[in-house]
Amino acid sequence: MNTTQNTQPAGLQAPRAKMQAQDVRVFYGEHQAIKGIDLELMENEVIAFIGPSGCGKSTFLRSFNRMNDTIEGCRLEGRILLDGEDIHAADMDVVMLRARVGMVFQKPNPFPKSIYDNVAYGPRIHGLARGRGDLDDRVEDSLRRAGLWDEVKDRLHAPGTGLSGGQQQRLCIARAIAVSPEVILMDEPCSALDPIATAKVEELIAELSQQYTIAIVTHSMQQAARVSDRTAYFHLGELIEVNATDKVFTHPQNALTEAYITGRFG
């Protein structure tokens, strides 16, 4: 099912797989949402997941940081590796995993706490900061990288929920990168944002991709085309095609992919 993997990631060395999904099957009770998918997330790439709604993009994305564990009745078969280690292994702590594989949700969901506390939360619970000054630095650094610092530096102790939708989403990204994750999963991060806020977040994704491996679910093909190195097309719980983004959009290999990107369904 997997097609070519020989794409050009940002780095100079040969591409290295950061995460690998091997024959992943996900069930909600009796219902099988993911029907045996193999896919690799390469180091420092942005990979977009596209496909008609209900095809399992979110479910598959959540498999990478085991957020499916929090859903009652959800079960996963197959293996997922992070740097070659099975994320379901007994010695892999889910807290550790989620510190290494961060997530940004569809609807901005900052904590109803101050902007500062939102960003400081991860470093605090994982004990990443040594002292107050260190924590302040980390918060500032994360907010800068999320492109939010200049907008909020004067009101760090105002509630995060008081920001605009786009700012809230960038705050959530800042919160995710504050624990220095290796992979960031984003589930339709712009679907609740207006075009200007969307443009800002997309810009941010492009910047972040220099340091992080990013998997992004999107329902907008333009967005996939703009931000991603590779694109994976899903259909009814199966991975139909994965390839360099420009190839997927110009020369889709599969009839289903072609039908989707030309707008015949979805």
Ligand X SMILES: Nc1ncnc2c1ncn2[C@@H]1O[C@H](COP(=O)(O)OP(=O)(O)O)[C@@H](O)[C@H]1O
CB 74 within 8 A of CB 26: yes
Report the length, in residues, of the chain. Answer: 266
145 touching other proteins, by CB under 8 A: no
- Whole-angstrom Cα distance, residue 170 to residue 200? 9
68 touching Mg ion, by CB under 5 A: no
13 touching other proteins, by CB under 8 A: no
- Whole-angstrom Cα distance, residue 231 to residue 78? 22
109 touching other proteins, by CB under 8 A: yes
Cβ at position 142, least distance to ligand X in Å: 27
- Which residue has the closest beta carbon to Mg ion? 58
**Segment contacting other proteins (CB under 8 A): 15-23, 133-141, 144-152, 169-177?**
169-177
28 vs 111 by CB, closer to ligand X: 28
**Residue from 17, 174, 179, 216 in contact with other proteins (CB under 8 A):** 179
**Segment contacting other proteins (CB under 8 A): 49-57, 93-101, 195-203, 251-259?**
93-101
218 touching Mg ion, by CB under 5 A: no
**Residue from 3, 22, 32, 161 in contact with other proteins (CB under 8 A):** 161
CB 120 within 8 A of CB 178: yes
Q: HSE on the CB side for 252, CA within 13 Å?
A: 16
The binding site for Mg ion (CB under 5 A) comprises: 58
The binding site for ligand X (CB under 6 A) comprises: 28, 31, 33, 51, 53-59, 71
The binding site for other proteins (CB under 8 A) comprises: 65, 67, 70, 72, 94-99, 102-103, 105, 107, 109-113, 121-122, 125-126, 159, 161, 172, 175-176, 179
